[in-house]
Amino acid sequence: MLFLYNIGVRLYALLLQLVAPFVPKARQWADGRRNLLTHIRQELAGQAAPRVWFHCASLGEFEQGRPLLEAFAARYPDYQIVLTFFSPSGYEIRKNWPGAAYVFYLPLDTAANARQFLELVQPRLAVFVKYEFWYHFLTQLQQRGIPAISVSAIFRPEQAFFKPWGSLFRRILGGFAHIFTQNEASAALLHTAGIGQVSVAGDTRFDTVLRTAAAPPRDLPIVSAFTADQAPVFVIGSSWPEDLPALIPLMQRYQQQMRFIVAPHEVTVENLSLVETALPGQVLRYSAATVSNAAPARVLLMDNVGLLSQLYRFGSYAYIGGAFGKGLHNTLEAAAFGLPLFFGPVYAKFQEAQDLVRLGCAFPITSTAELQAAFEPLWLDAGTRAVIRETSLTYIQQKAGATATIMRWLEKEMMKS
């Protein structure tokens, strides 16, 4: 099985290199790993400060782990944080994040790469956020006596760890000194697989969104001007082209009664044009907006990244994209502001989405007709919207605290130094 794993890792890298000339993300992935270990060696040369290593797959996992990163940095200011990403969508946006001393791509998971990386970084401990399970890195960490933990992890019965043929993947999990899961069901699954070093801590994203909602708002004069007339605002966050067929008829119907802020998941010419073509004369790109020309527009189209969590502050309703495709994006950022949520049908892998649906705060839909049927009663009933707001905020507050739980474990581990 390990032979097949090694072949699979190399084939994946080869495939990305082959398609790199045609796919921008694949090109970033391949280019970012060219001479990567040499680059890391040069960056770390002559640096004697102790280090810890945090690894995130992508931007979403970074935001999930961010409260823990910041809590660790505040508690242990003498330690340098080495932050790695697997995906360009995390690295390219956070490569200059000031909370980390170093930000790198993760080298390909081979035995040689893992050995060299750990020889260079020499971390006191390693923290993997949510989904990242790399055999050679975890094996090398274990052999060197460097504790590794997984945080905000969530597991499902259909995953390879729990299959009869999944012994290699169970060995990967055994490489963690501790696994902090989001829920009891994940912890129970791990126990059935013979993994005992498990605690239920919850999801660190609740700490992130609670802090974002409580923080002083960023100064966004264009968005403030766009929403100045106090009309209801429908925020469409992380939208994909697959989301638009359900959304566009609703936007066309209510474009004179509401304002819409649309933040595509991927800011490309094609994705921006889809919105502009569907709503001719109504759309203003953020890059072309000014305080004076924002007011007449009905749709503010975000052609930048990094503002979405702040945009929900202006919202009355929110649609979260991705759930007509591979899976739903972050619902908690909008729920932290008490907004009624709508999203597509692919959300079963997301515990918080299931919870919000069960609580009557979120509404999964499969078509325009279902979106209209879910939206219309809320549009007409301020009392129901108020109940949703209170329920959402209570839910977020009750689920917060994972960062403190994990930090208590880390503090005990650090005392062993």
pLDDT in tens, 8-44: 999 988 998 888 888 888 899 899 999 999 999 999 9
The answer on pLDDT for 400 being more than 90 is yes
Please give the pLDDT value at position 417: 63
For 76-95, what is the mean pLDDT?
Answer: 94
The answer on pLDDT for 265 being more than 80 is yes
Which two tokens mark 50? 């102790």
Q: Does domain 215-399 fall into CATH 3.40.50.2000?
A: yes
> Model confidence over 101-123: pLDDT tens digits?
999 999 999 999 999 999 999 99
The answer on pLDDT for 59 being more than 90 is no
Label residue 78 exposed, middle or buried (CB < 10 Å: 0-12, 13-18, 19+).
Answer: exposed
Please give the pLDDT value at position 47: 85
Topology alike, domains 2-202+401-414 and 215-399: yes
The Cα–Cα gap between 233 and 159 comes to 39
Q: At what angle do helices 205-214 and 402-414 cross, to 10 degrees?
A: 120
Report how far apart, in Å, the C-alpha atoms of 346 and of each of 109, 197, 239, 391, 395 are. Answer: 30, 31, 14, 23, 22
**Terminal CA-to-CA distance of the chain, rounded, Å?**
36
Please give the pLDDT value at position 376: 96
The answer on pLDDT for 330 being more than 90 is yes
The answer on pLDDT for 329 being more than 90 is yes
**Percentage of the chain with pLDDT > 90?**
78
Please give the pLDDT value at position 354: 95
pTM for the full predicted model: 0.84
For 209-223, what is the mean pLDDT?
Answer: 91
Please give the pLDDT value at position 305: 82
Please give the pLDDT value at position 326: 81
Residue 121: which of 54, 192, 214, 201 has the closest Cα? Answer: 54
> Model confidence over 233-242: pLDDT tens digits?
999 999 999 9
Please give the pLDDT value at position 46: 85
Please give the pLDDT value at position 416: 82
> Model confidence over 180-194: pLDDT tens digits?
999 999 999 999 999
> Model confidence over 275-317: pLDDT tens digits?
999 999 899 999 999 999 998 999 999 999 889 999 999 999 9
The answer on pLDDT for 334 being more than 70 is yes
List the chain domain ranges: 2-202+401-414, 215-399
The Cα–Cα gap between 105 and 126 comes to 15
For domain 2-202+401-414, give the fold.
Answer: Rossmann fold (3.40.50)
For 212-227, what is the mean pLDDT?
Answer: 92
Please give the pLDDT value at position 415: 87
Label residue 412 exposed, middle or buried (CB < 10 Å: 0-12, 13-18, 19+).
Answer: exposed
- 97: confidence class by pLDDT, cuts 50, 70, 90: very high
- Between β-strands 198-200 and 299-301, what pairing exists: parallel, antiparallel or unpaired? unpaired
For 351-362, what is the mean pLDDT?
Answer: 96
Report how far apart, in Å, the C-alpha atoms of 402 and of each of 53, 181, 206, 359, 412 are. Answer: 19, 10, 8, 21, 16
The answer on pLDDT for 228 being more than 90 is yes
Please give the pLDDT value at position 131: 80
The answer on pLDDT for 66 being more than 70 is yes
The answer on pLDDT for 151 being more than 80 is yes
Provide the mean pLDDT of the chain. 93
